[in-house]
Amino acid sequence: MRALWILPALLLTLGGCVRHLNEPQSPATIPYPEEFSFSVLEDQRYTSPDWPQPLFADVYLPETSNMVERPVALLVHGGGWQGRTPEDMAPIAERLARRGFVTVNVGYRFAPEYKFPAQIHDLQQAMHWIHRQSEEWRIDTSRIAGVGYSSGAHLVSLLAVVAGQGGAVDRPYGGERTRLDAVIAGGTPTNLFKFDDGRLVVEFLGGTRLEVPLQYAQASPMKHIHPQAPPFFLFHGTWDDLVPPDHAKDFYTALREQGIYSELYLLRFRGHITTFLTRYNAMEAGIDFLARQLQD
CATH number at residue 262: 3.40.50.1820
Question: What is the tens place of the pLDDT at every residue in 211-240?
Answer: 999 999 999 999 999 999 999 999 999 999
In a domain, 207, yes or no: yes
Task: Give the pLDDT band of residue 6 (cuts 50, 70, 90).
Answer: very low
In a domain, 32, yes or no: no
In a domain, 3, yes or no: no
In a domain, 2, yes or no: no
In a domain, 33, yes or no: no
Q: Which residues contact 184 (CB under 8 A, 6 or more apart)?
A: 145, 146, 147, 148, 232, 233, 235, 283, 286, 287, 289, 290
Task: Give the pLDDT band of residue 160 (cuts 50, 70, 90).
Answer: very high
In a domain, 264, yes or no: yes
Question: What is the tens place of the pLDDT at every residue in 8-65?
Answer: 444 444 444 667 776 555 444 444 467 999 999 999 999 999 999 999 999 999 999 8
In a domain, 21, yes or no: no
Query: What is the extent of the structural domain holding 221?
Result: 39-293
Domain count within the chain: 1
Question: What is the tens place of the pLDDT at every residue in 251-274?
Answer: 999 999 999 999 999 999 999 999
In a domain, 52, yes or no: yes
